[in-house]
Amino acid sequence: MSLQVYINGKFYAKEDAKVSVYDHGLLYGDGVFEGIRCYSGNVFRLKEHLERLYESARAIMLQIPISPEKLAEDVYETLRRNQFTDAYIRLVVTRGAGSLGLDPNKTSDPQVIIITDKIALYPAEYYDKGLELITASTIRNHPAALSPRIKSLNYLNNIMAKLEGLQAGCVEALMLNHKGEVAECTGDNIFIVRKGRLVTPPIDAGILEGVTRNAVIELAEAAGIGCDQTALTRHDIFIADECFLTGTAAEVIPVVKLDKRPIGAGVVGPITTQLIAAFKKLVHKA
Ligand code: PMP
């Protein structure tokens, strides 16, 4: 049976799951989304992801036509219909079909979409040997232009940086903010380890407040490893002992080089290894 996709309360086979070419989600990237994981039948931090989705929608004055409680039920129903216990879940809410002008008031019928699919994992070697990053010349969106706190359907800022990474042979790229400080990667938050403590950019560095980021901060603190949320520059990464990224798809993934320069000993560090193990344990018991 083909994958079942949820659109506005109805289920469609993947090939028949469609939205209008007049949908402002397509025409203008006008909408919001979430990427979520289900592990052994439990959706990881669904409440937090839904909170972020509704906040993103609120920030762009988009009214999601159903309640978060109903959407949570529908996520589980979509997983059930596809017989998934371990899956990647994509929630999308578009502004809906309108005229060819920008005016969101001329749209109607926002599309609430739930796609569940197999998880496309990064190759295991990245977790064993660590990633290499380059710094993209594309800066992260200025918060006063389009706040990185909004997980909107307009991801071109990140895609431009991702292209730079890929051109340089890297699957992820570091993005700086308009002040030249470290912000985040194209689809992941960044942490360094320095003298036994974690350091990660604060939300006001212009980043998405990652659900995985917050889980890792909690895990570190429970293990007696403090975490500072302070502004970082590339310099801090160059002199760090360890570095890793966090994200729903990547989970916790080590970084061993930035711009061809080894970080610390240039190998996956002990605190990173400890947090990878702690995160695995957390998601499987959640
Ligand atoms: N930053 C950006 C730009 C992202 O797209 C993501 C992935 N959603 C993250 C960080 C990590 O967030 P999370 O841990 O909630 O997946």
Q: Give the phi and the psi of residue 19 in degrees, each rounded to 5.
A: -125, 165
Cβ count near 224 (within 10 Å):
7
Catalytic residue among 18, 70, 118, 151: 151
Q: How is domain 124-284 classified at the CATH fold level?
A: D-amino Acid Aminotransferase; Chain A, domain 2 (3.20.10)
pLDDT 10s per residue in the chain (286 long)? 799 999 999 999 999 999 999 999 999 999 999 999 999 999 999 999 999 999 999 999 999 999 999 999 999 999 999 999 999 999 999 999 999 999 999 999 999 999 999 988 889 999 999 999 999 999 999 999 999 999 999 999 999 999 999 999 999 999 999 999 999 999 999 999 999 999 999 999 999 999 999 999 999 999 999 999 999 999 999 999 999 999 999 999 999 999 999 999 999 999 999 999 999 999 998 6
The answer to whether 264 and 241 are in contact (CB under 8 A) is yes
Nearest CA to ligand 1 atom 3: 187
2.60.120.260, 3.30.470.10, 3.10.20.600, 3.40.1010.10: CATH of 4-117: 3.30.470.10
104 touches 24 (CB < 8 A): yes
Rounded to the nearest angstrom, the distance between the alpha carbon of 184 and the centre of ligand 1 is: 9
Q: What residues contact residue 114 under an 8 Å CB cut-off, 6+ apart?
A: 5, 6, 74, 75, 78, 89, 90, 91
Per-residue DSSP letter, 241: S
70 among known catalytic residues: no
* Ligand 1 contact, 202 CB (< 6 A): no
Q: Is 52 in the pocket of ligand 1 (CB under 6 A)?
A: no
Q: Is the CB of 208 under 6 A from ligand 1?
A: yes
Tokens 């903010």, residue? 177
User: Could you identify the atom of ligand 1 that is nearest to the CA of residue 246?
Assistant: 14
Domain ranges of the chain: 4-117, 124-284
Output the CA torsion sign for 61, 64, 69, 74.
negative
